[in-house]
Amino acid sequence: MPVPVFTGADIMFRNFLARAGYPVDPPFEGFSDELCFIPGWRKTNNAGYHFVGAKEFAEPRTEVGHRLVVKLLLGPLDGWVLHRCGNASCLNPYHLYVGDADQNSRDRKLHEAARAAMNVENSTEDVGQWVRKPKPVALSQEESLMTRRFPGFFPDRCFFADWLHFTFDGYPQLCESEHPGAVVGAHRKIYQLFNGPLNKYDILIHACNNKHCLNPYHIVKFGRENVDDWDFKYDRRCKINQAGREMIKDRTMSAKEVSQEIGLHIQRVYELRRALG
Ligand SMILES: [Zn+2]
Ligand SMILES: [Zn+2]
Last residue of a domain, one of 188, 207, 225: 225
Q: Are residues 22 and 70 in the same domain?
A: yes
What separation in Å is there between the alpha carbon of 94 and the centre of ligand 1? 8
Nearest to 144 by CA among 89, 85, 103: 103
Ligand nearest the Cα atom of residue 208: 2
Q: Are residues 266 and 153 in the same domain?
A: no
Reported as a pLDDT band with limits 50, 70 and 90, residue 3 is very low
Contacts of 118 (CB under 8 A, 6+ apart): 137
Q: Are residues 24 and 145 in the same domain?
A: yes
Q: Are residues 69 and 111 in the same domain?
A: yes
Mean pLDDT for the stretch of residues 172-183: 90
**What domain range includes position 144?**
9-225
Q: Are residues 261 and 190 in the same domain?
A: no
Query: What is the predicted pLDDT for the residue at 1?
Result: 38
What separation in Å is there between the alpha carbon of 100 and the centre of ligand 2? 34
Q: List Cα–Cα distances, 167 to 68, 104, 180, in angstroms.
A: 18, 35, 6
Domains identified in the chain, total number? 2
- Mark the residues whose beta carbon lies below 5 A from ion ligand 2: 158, 208, 213, 215, 218
- How far apart (Å, rounded) are the C-alpha atoms in residues 133 and 46? 19
Ligand nearest the Cα atom of residue 220: 2
Q: Are residues 76 and 50 in the same domain?
A: yes
At 192-215, the pLDDT tens digits run 999 999 998 899 999 889 999 999
What separation in Å is there between the alpha carbon of 159 and the centre of ligand 2? 6
pLDDT above 90 coverage of the chain, percent: 53
Q: Are residues 61 and 101 in the same domain?
A: yes
Q: Are residues 132 and 254 in the same domain?
A: no
CA neighbours closer than 13 Å in the CB half-sphere of residue 135: 3
Q: Are residues 245 and 163 in the same domain?
A: no
Q: Are residues 90 and 62 in the same domain?
A: yes
Query: What is the predicted pLDDT for the residue at 2?
Result: 40
Query: Does pLDDT of 102 surpass 90?
Result: yes
- How far apart (Å, rounded) are the C-alpha atoms in residues 252 and 195? 46
Q: Are residues 45 and 112 in the same domain?
A: yes
- What angle (nearest 5°) sits at the alpha carbon of residue 183, between those of residues 267 and 36? 120
Contacts of 206 (CB under 8 A, 6+ apart): 187, 213, 218, 219, 220
Per the prediction, the chain carries an average pLDDT of 86
- How far apart (Å, rounded) are the C-alpha atoms in residues 74 and 84? 16
Residue 237 maps to a domain? yes
- How far apart (Å, rounded) are the C-alpha atoms in residues 273 and 257? 13
Residue 162 maps to a domain? yes
Q: Are residues 91 and 149 in the same domain?
A: yes
Query: What is the predicted pLDDT for the residue at 243?
Result: 76
At 38-69, the pLDDT tens digits run 999 999 999 999 999 988 887 788 899 999 99
At 116-137, the pLDDT tens digits run 998 776 655 566 688 999 999 9
Nearest to 125 by CA among 152, 97, 85, 95: 85
What separation in Å is there between the alpha carbon of 33 and the centre of ligand 1? 9
Nearest to 10 by CA among 21, 2, 25: 25
What separation in Å is there between the alpha carbon of 225 and the centre of ligand 2? 22
